[in-house]
Amino acid sequence: MEVVFTDSALERLQNRMQGNKGFLKLKHDTEGCGCVVSGVAALWLVDKPEDNDTRIMTNGPDLYLDYNTEVFFDEKMTIDAPAGNHFSLKSPSEILNPGMKYYNKTKQNTGS
């Protein structure tokens, strides 16, 4: 799998992370979706990758992806930062999420 960040996405990501330490995860988020196939792509900053996560090298920070959810993503994807406060995830054949959100799921953010 290949993921490329645009320059604007790298800049927005740096601003969103605000120096927080962690690992970036491309998440197939199913919370509130009712069904696993209805999930949406999201970026999560997590304290550490899970045992079943696959590491994806990028032109920016490495991404981690639950290997069970690889089927929901394309082999080549781009993460961009369009106007607004979100990201977009697209491939040569489709737009996977035009309004992809970023969540800081680290303990340092939750105060735990």
Write out the chain's pLDDT in tens, 112 residues. 999 999 999 999 999 998 888 999 999 876 655 555 557 899 999 999 999 999 999 999 999 999 888 888 999 999 999 999 999 999 999 999 999 999 999 987 754 4
The mean of the pLDDT values for the chain is 89
Residues in the chain, total: 112
Query: What is the token pair recorded at 13?
Result: 């990501």
Beta carbons within 8 Å of 62's beta carbon, 6+ residues apart:
23, 24, 55, 56
For residue 39, which phi and psi values (nearest 5 degrees)?
A: -65, 165
Residues in CB range of 80: below 8 A, 6 or more apart: 6, 8, 9, 87, 88, 90
Report if pTM > 0.75: yes
Q: Which H or E element spans position 8?
A: helix 7-17
